[in-house]
Structure 1
Amino acid sequence: MSASNLLDLDVTSKSDPMVVVYAKKSDGKLEELGRTEVILNSLNPVWIEKVSIAYQFEMVQPLIFHVYDVDTKYHNVPVKTLNLRDQEFLGKGSCGLSEIVTKQTRSLTLNLMNKNWHGGMRKFGTLTVRAEETIASRSAVEIKFRCSHLENKDLFSKSDPFLRISRIVESGGSIPICKTEVVDNNLNPTWKPVCLSMQQFGSKDTPLVFECFDFNSNGDHVLIGKIQKSVADLEKLYKERSGVNFVFPTSRQGHEKVLKGQLFVDQLFEKEQFSFLDYISSGYELNFMVAVDFTGSNGDPRSPDSLHYIDPYGRLNSYQQAIREVGEVIQFYDDDKRFPAWGFGGRTTNGTVSHCFNLNGSASDFEVEGVEGIMGAYATALHNVSLAGPTLFGQVVNKAAEIASRSLSSSNNKYYVLLIITDGILTDLQETKDALVRASNLPLSVLIVGVGNADFKQMEILDADSGPRLESSTGRIATRDIVQFVAMREVHSGQISVVQGLLEELPGQFLSYMRSMDMKPLTFHAGQPSTS
């Protein structure tokens, strides 16, 4: 942090400023995160002491900065023990953490205010806050593994092998860091390349355990064999084009049986692996889109029992809650804050049922201004659109995919996030799968929030976290998993809401797209320091 033109409260010299940083919690209370050192006799200080904050994409993280002039008699007292009531208050500033990290300069200048000063609020200099991401290293290695002559563990077919890689820790135990996909019915499998970051494997000499398992759908996977090697050992195997034999533990302590099956390294190279914030601060944007379910099963919006009931006292219904909670987080990552907003399953003013209509009622323009614009368009649409049905996602997903696809041809730096809020069971499950598979190689993620008490099993199929990737009616497999689903009725543990829990996955989906397309941050140059 640094400041300019601070208020001078000392008579014979200049102020001796210090900054105290707070996080503003959801209940409005301030939690102190840290303090800088005191800079003597300066109205334009540059502090060295940094304050560490855990960045959480899925939350708005409001920060408050208080600047104090520390009294001379406390100059030899550790700053952490200073009683702030004994110091002169110079001013305060506030912002969200995401407002800082989305700037290309990775810094934000705040006007300091002091409402206690005689004559009311006025400016008291500026505070510049710079954020720096503490990444030890961007180094990663991409490795392609192959096995030969694995032992068969299945009775009526061949094993379905996958590799699990774990790092050995000082205590002697091991922590899993990565696993390959499952290759069905094959004793000589070749897996897709895996990428290990230096944070995961430590150093090239850190011992890693490679376990090969036969996959079983009940989760009871059978060990085929294991090997202990470091990344340095793997580099040697790759250069020498040689394999290494798996071993299998025996009942005799410390004794292992050497197996015929071998592990080979077909490909190994080092690469830079960029963080989510590397991309965002270089100019990539997240564009928010929303689609709201207007089917009849929501209930008459005039009835307090309806999922669409607008409470006259301002209590948000589930649709409003989901729009606000997702929108308020994502809006900071979108420059123009103009959001496409649609409805589906409603009978519009022309009397026809539409499965993708503009929420604002416009014939041509589907964008609204900011999160409040979505909230306003939604409330208005409830007066102008009759609830109908059935529940179809296909047209909305196709519309979002069309926008994401157009952005590729104009090479703008946007990644799209479609929020679908629904209460019902899909009528077009296969068409929706087809649309999602087609969209899986586009810069797009689909967040689905289920409201009400319907059976949401279909949504869990679309969110392929615990099952196979989506397959289209033509047999095409999704390039990557782009869907996340959560039911609003589920209680999320901890401080964050269910909907915020949904957003936790988004940076990972963004990175999976960027890495699969081999796209780098816009302004990144080799040797650039790891600031954010």
Structure 2
Amino acid sequence: MYATAPPPGGVRPPTSSVELSLSAKSLKDRDIISKSDPFAVLYVKSGSGWTKLGKTEAKKDDLNPTWAKLFLVEYHFESVQQLKVEVYDQDSSSPDKLKDQDFIGGAEFTLGQLMGAPGQSGSFLLTRGKSTSKHQGSLLVKAEEAKASSEAVRFRFSATSLANMDGMFSKSDPFLIISRLREDGQSWTQVHRTETIDNNLNPNWRVFELPMQQLCNGDPKRPLSLQVFDEDRGGKSDLIGHVQTTFEEIQGKRGTNFVLHNEALQKKKGKKYTNAGLLVATEVEIFRDHTFIDYLRGGLEMNLIIGIDYTASNGPPNDPRSLHFIDPRGPNQYQHAISATVSILQEYDADKQFPVYGFGGIPPGAYDVDHCFPLNLNPSNPEVAGAQGVLQLYTASLGHIRLHGPTFFAPLINQSMRIANQLSDPRKQKYFVLLIITDGAIMDMQGAIDALVEASHTSPLSIVIIGVGPADFSSMVALDGDGGKLRASNGRVSARDIVQFVPYNRFVGYPDALTRETLAEIPRQLCQYMKPGYPGQGPPQGYQQGSYPAQRGYPRQGPPHGAAPGYPGYRG
């Protein structure tokens, strides 16, 4: 959430983090044959526009969904904070593109309106357009102050002898839902749902992690509800059994059975009823959920890699309509994007030296298009000093690099992976950010996805893509991964989200907002990389100061044939 300007004297008013949970009732069905698969998107008003804070999961065939996704927002008592929720029916053929989903309805409200309501919850009509008479259902939003906690819990649950809800010829398809009692003592907030295990009365669910704040808001005595359901993909899932407990009790009874109860089943079976099954927490481990600031305090170094688009769709640099035109009256979009990002990230880089690459152009002395060439024409050391050095090199390169195409990302991503892996140092934690500035849709989508999936498993790397110009960037949204995990051509899925896409045009006139949006996901992505099970626990070997991995097509010892190590008028 964007902070307000501090009051006179430089003292910022006290703020709180507030957790929002969303549910809906009686949604208008947008599907003809089946029920809608609704999901919700939360926005905050920023200037004259709206900024997306995130989206929930889709709930299949459910017109009364309770979404598990929780949203953390910063609450400023002294400010009007306008929020908007839009509910859509997910189209499975293109789940990543919001414009392709069926819009069910939306609602606007202020955070203050919610916080001042009884029980800090509010019900809002979902409407399409300005007419409230054509409501599409109702939205329920619940707020609760989030208690700060740096601890998280790693769980594994299993169950035995579950009641079979599917009759004689098949078995239940169980999943587990964990909910916590809200502070009002009357309603529950879902905090986690496991995967479904088909046709199994003795399921062993995968390990999962929950922050203590999300699980019980930092209170180990907060009542928790554990419910096991039999999934019915064509309708409402059946409750197999439930038990109420606390995290304190779960931790104390690790490895001990919890008896699941089902009152309806007990009434039906009478004296033959014993229980609905047994649930056990086979793994309960508390660990410190380190923050981005923890890593910075420990000496983590951020390293920036930059990729600049030299495809012909940018337009000739000497044409005032070109995205590469150097206008003495002010920076072009490439210059602005470089300044907005590099000026922030360089503060976390000890030597403030960044490798800079071009792609989609023909560098001096070369005859074919190159999809990853060092902008200073020195493959052995493509580093440039500071934000001003990057801007000077970019300006000097225009007119000497022939714009070409097509737009390929995979070579640049692969080179960045090599840098991140080979320059990692066990003596000092490092994390790399690849900034790609581009003007159009990529032509190697599957190749780029394959590279991104590989990077998500192996490399200390995040990727920020800034789209400049008026092109259609719908393909970039798919790379962002907000709609689900990326899948490589070999079937492997991404281990973590490492991409943030930002359309420049949305932030024209708001330079600070562009910077915030561009860098917003990096702390979370870095912390996820450092968690157990990810390669951040044991960084790759092989760091040598000033030595960069050789690029395909370029000899290590020098620049391309016939190229001078630089441009006229530029001193790197």
Q: TM-score range by the shorter chain?
A: 0.5 to 0.7
Matched, 1:458 2:475: yes
C-alpha distance in 2 between matches for 1:419 and 1:217: 41
Identity of aligned residues (%): 37
1:205-248 per-residue CA deviation (whole Å, 9 max, x = no partner) reads: 11123455788999x985746543211221244232x1442658
Q: Alignment partner for residue 445 of structure 1, among 435, 448, 462? A: 462
Instruction: Tell me which moved more, 362-371 or 392-401.
Output: 362-371
C-alpha distance in 2 between matches for 1:435 and 1:346: 21
Residue matched to 2:9: 32
Q: Alignment partner for residue 183 of structure 2, among 148, 170, 174? A: 170
Q: Alignment partner for residue 317 of structure 1, among 332, 343, 346? A: 332
Q: Alignment partner for residue 152 of structure 2, among 127, 140, 144? A: 140
Residue matched to 2:518: 502
Please state how far the C-alpha of 1:508 moved relative to its aligned partner: 0.8
Structure 1 residues 175 and 32: CA distance shift in structure 2, 3 A: farther
Please state how far the C-alpha of 1:262 moved relative to its aligned partner: 5.1
Please state how far the C-alpha of 1:452 moved relative to its aligned partner: 2.2
Please state how far the C-alpha of 1:318 moved relative to its aligned partner: 2.1
Contact 1:141–1:268, Cα closer than 8 Å, also in 2: yes
Residue matched to 2:372: 356
C-alpha distance in 2 between matches for 1:221 and 1:489: 43
Please state how far the C-alpha of 1:197 moved relative to its aligned partner: 3.3
C-alpha distance in 2 between matches for 1:433 and 1:487: 19
C-alpha distance in 2 between matches for 1:177 and 1:495: 38
User: Runs of 5+ in structure 1 lacking a partner?
Assistant: 1-22, 36-50, 56-133, 523-532
Matched, 1:330 2:345: yes
Matches of residues 79-118 of structure 1 in structure 2 within 5 Å? none
1:116-141 per-residue CA deviation (whole Å, 9 max, x = no partner) reads: xxxxxxxxxxxxxxxxxx99654332
SS in 2 for 1:341: strand
Structure 1 residues 33 and 244: CA distance shift in structure 2, 3 A: farther
SS in 2 for 1:167: strand
SS in 2 for 1:229: strand
Contact 1:160–1:214, Cα closer than 8 Å, also in 2: yes
Please state how far the C-alpha of 1:195 moved relative to its aligned partner: 2.7
Matches of residues 56-67 of structure 1 in structure 2 within 5 Å? none
Please state how far the C-alpha of 1:186 moved relative to its aligned partner: 5.4
C-alpha distance in 2 between matches for 1:249 and 1:497: 54
Please state how far the C-alpha of 1:338 moved relative to its aligned partner: 0.6
Residue matched to 1:286: 302
C-alpha distance in 1 between matches for 2:246 and 2:438: 49
Q: Alignment partner for residue 270 of structure 1, among 286, 310, 315? A: 286
Matched, 1:416 2:432: yes
Matched, 1:476 2:507: no
Residue matched to 1:118: none
Instruction: Tell me which moved more, 486-495 or 368-377.
Output: 486-495
C-alpha distance in 2 between matches for 1:216 and 1:494: 48
Contact 1:345–1:390, Cα closer than 8 Å, also in 2: yes
C-alpha distance in 1 between matches for 2:371 and 2:336: 22
Structure 1 residues 190 and 429: CA distance shift in structure 2, 3 A: farther
Contact 1:213–1:221, Cα closer than 8 Å, also in 2: no
1:389-418 per-residue CA deviation (whole Å, 9 max, x = no partner) reads: 011111100111001111346554110011
Contact 1:245–1:260, Cα closer than 8 Å, also in 2: yes
Residue matched to 1:342: 357
1:433-471 per-residue CA deviation (whole Å, 9 max, x = no partner) reads: 12112211311111112222323232222222222x222
SS in 1 for 2:500: strand
Residue matched to 1:130: none
C-alpha distance in 1 between matches for 2:420 and 2:170: 43
Structure 1 residues 337 and 409: CA distance shift in structure 2, 3 A: closer
Residue matched to 1:98: none
Residue matched to 1:192: 206
Please state how far the C-alpha of 1:249 moved relative to its aligned partner: 9.2
Residue matched to 2:260: 245
Residue matched to 2:192: 179
C-alpha distance in 1 between matches for 2:342 and 2:359: 19
Contact 1:162–1:183, Cα closer than 8 Å, also in 2: yes
1:260-291 per-residue CA deviation (whole Å, 9 max, x = no partner) reads: 36543121122222221111111111111111
Matching residue's letter, 1:463: D
C-alpha distance in 1 between matches for 2:536 and 2:445: 32
SS in 1 for 2:531: helix
1:39-65 per-residue CA deviation (whole Å, 9 max, x = no partner) reads: xxxxxxxxxxxx97999xxxxxxxxxx
Structure 1 residues 300 and 151: CA distance shift in structure 2, 3 A: farther
Q: Alignment partner for residue 490 of structure 1, among 469, 491, 506? A: 506
Structure 1 residues 495 and 402: CA distance shift in structure 2, 3 A: closer
1:296-315 per-residue CA deviation (whole Å, 9 max, x = no partner) reads: 1112222222222222112x
C-alpha distance in 1 between matches for 2:538 and 2:147: 16
User: Runs of 5+ in structure 2 lacking a partner?
Assistant: 18-145, 268-272, 540-572
Structure 1 residues 184 and 301: CA distance shift in structure 2, 3 A: farther
Contact 1:282–1:521, Cα closer than 8 Å, also in 2: no
Matching residue's letter, 1:447: V
Please state how far the C-alpha of 1:376 moved relative to its aligned partner: 1.4
C-alpha distance in 2 between matches for 1:24 and 1:232: 39
Matching residue's letter, 1:404: A
1:151-170 per-residue CA deviation (whole Å, 9 max, x = no partner) reads: 779xx998876555443232
Contact 2:158–2:279, Cα closer than 8 Å, also in 1: yes
Residue matched to 2:48: none
Contact 2:340–2:514, Cα closer than 8 Å, also in 1: no
C-alpha distance in 1 between matches for 2:165 and 2:510: 44
1:315-339 per-residue CA deviation (whole Å, 9 max, x = no partner) reads: x222222222221221111111111
Please state how far the C-alpha of 1:370 moved relative to its aligned partner: 0.8
Structure 1 residues 512 and 215: CA distance shift in structure 2, 3 A: farther
Residue matched to 1:96: none
Please state how far the C-alpha of 1:344 moved relative to its aligned partner: 0.4
SS in 1 for 2:9: strand
Structure 1 residues 363 and 139: CA distance shift in structure 2, 3 A: closer
Instruction: Tell me which moved more, 428-437 or 197-206.
Output: 197-206
Residue matched to 2:417: 401
Please state how far the C-alpha of 1:175 moved relative to its aligned partner: 7.0
Matches of residues 384-399 of structure 1 in structure 2 within 5 Å? 384-399=400-415
1:12-56 per-residue CA deviation (whole Å, 9 max, x = no partner) reads: xxxxxxxxxxx996xxx9743439xxxxxxxxxxxxxxx97999x
Matching residue's letter, 1:172: G
